[in-house]
Amino acid sequence: MRARTLTRFLLTAGLAAAAAAPAFAQDQSQGQGEGLGQSQRSQRVVQPYIEVAQVVSAELSPGDDVLTFTQIAAGVDINLQGRNSGAAVSLRYERNIAYGEDTVDTDTVSGIARGTLAIIPGRLSLEAGALASRSRADGGGAVTANPLVREDAESRVYSAYAGPSLRTRVGDVGVEGVARVGYNRFEVDNALVSQQGNTIDTFDDSVTYMGQLRAATRPGEPLPVGLAVTAGGFQEDIGNLDQRVRDLYVRGDVTIPLTTSLALVAGAGYEDVAISSRDAVRDANGVAQRDANGRFITDPAAPRRIAFAVDGLLWDVGVLWRPSSRTSLQAAVGRRYDSTTYYGTFTYAPSQRSIFALAAYDGVSGFGGVINNGLARLDSDFEAIRNPVTGDFGGLVSGTQGQAIVGSLGSVRSAAFRGRGVNASYQRTVGRTTAALGAGYDRRTFIAAAGTALAPVNGLVDQSYYVVGGLTRTLGDDASIATNAYVNWFDGAGNNDATGAGVSAAYNQSITRRLTGRAAISVDYVDSEFTAADFAFATALVGLRYNF
């Protein structure tokens, strides 16, 4: 395989039916106990393991290169659930040892973790999450979920956050609050170049801050209608050109019951949204300077310039429908960011064996805000679904909320953006078989200040579509099979398009109580405007896994 022609793709964690929402403040329902709904069942699973495998990878098109290497891995899968606290962790270290092909020699740490610790049971908890993954990007957009990543064509994403959540009552008033601080980083070894030959300024790192406090009464307690007051804010400080996204708001809401299960919800308030940045260092000819990875070098002495600023009235009106504890719909339309906005969520869990979730979002943030927010939305009771050949975490989880954490991360441009889209997930268990499916669409309109090095991307639109799924089935007491599949379409500004698709399957057979034999195969395909030919490659693995 020719690593450079595939350039870079980022898919990790890619973070979830609700994961793609760019910023916490966009959906007013998010503050209502986010992350507090933990499983009431007790569960304790701690499974450390080691793996040794032999891997063969063959390029099917356009060339015929064949690589063979040994894969050694160690990891741990944890799922601990209590009445008020819970945590899920999937962590893996992997070492690939090649024969005569140095680009395959890699050391990789990948994983996802999410947990809630009750400080005061039922009232105050501490939440935290972390993510590490590797992947590729093609022309600045996500197109492939299961890459066999080589050292000279590797990109990596890291994300972590922590903060407290509060839920209590003061008389008839329910008080809910949440705060968190997060950090996000995207690493790429070489500059990305668009179809037109332009170097893309890819995201580097960011720090996010989020806080929200809500005080509300329920209809009938004590008034016939429910009343709420909410204040909050979101800020992302992006390392590239010292960009800053700030979104502050305060609002009031009224809930008017129409029936026992249907209510009209309306709200209005004030918002102050601003996006700003500095310029890049420029040479004597006025040319913006870049580092070795193609990112602009920030000039700390340059004045801060405003790219977007709106302050004034925000409002929305919608419905809240909860016919049972298993069905919930919240949808609204209104005005925000000085334009029309739509958002909403729908969940349907007809039984403990299946759940469907749908979310529409609209917000402003940077690339890091998308990852951090999606990680925070993930429930702390899940099982990560990994590629059976590479061991990578591809953004799909099986859990109580039936969510794929990140089906597609879309564009990896550094500029802040307004992100709008919709995503859905479905999970079902039938006997010994569990299936999970995620799909979504994400549209990002970039926002950059005039007179800065990012000004040419202002108003550009990148779009991403994705479908990702997984299926597992146990065969008796000693064997199981697992399959995964994905399709990603990236529609970048200026006809910078790419498509990635793949499928994998694995068979596991117990040899002893702790030792398991493994066999797996995957086929991946990339059709990109950035290369002269399409690429297809197949990978096979045989190995052993020992569970401690």
Give me the CATH number covering residue 356.
2.40.170
For the chain, how far is it from start to end, CA to CA, in angstroms?
Answer: 36
Handedness of CA 133, 370, 187, 235 (dihedral sign): negative
402 φ/ψ angles, rounded to the nearest 5 degrees: 60, 40
Burial of 67 (0-12, 13-18, 19+ CB in 10 A): buried
DSSP 374: H
- For residue 38, is pLDDT > 70? no
The whole-number pLDDT of residue 103 equals 61
Residues 518 and 547: their CA atoms lie apart, in Å, by 13
Which residue, chain included where needed, has tokens 């699973």? Answer: 45
Specify the pTM.
0.84
Residues 482 and 388: their CA atoms lie apart, in Å, by 8
- For residue 20, is pLDDT > 50? no
Which residue, chain included where needed, has tokens 């992302």? Answer: 236
Residue pLDDT, tens place only, 467-507: 888 888 999 889 999 888 888 888 877 666 778 888 999 99
Whether 257 and 265 have beta carbons less than 8 Å apart is answered as no
Q: Find the domain containing 51 and state its range.
A: 3-547
The whole-number pLDDT of residue 532 equals 60
Tokens for 278? 């500095």
Paired residues of 350 in beta bridges: none
The whole-number pLDDT of residue 489 equals 85
Q: How many domains does the chain have?
A: 1
DSSP 298: B
Which residue in 256, 264, 192, 88 sits closest to 496, CA to CA? 192
The whole-number pLDDT of residue 399 equals 59
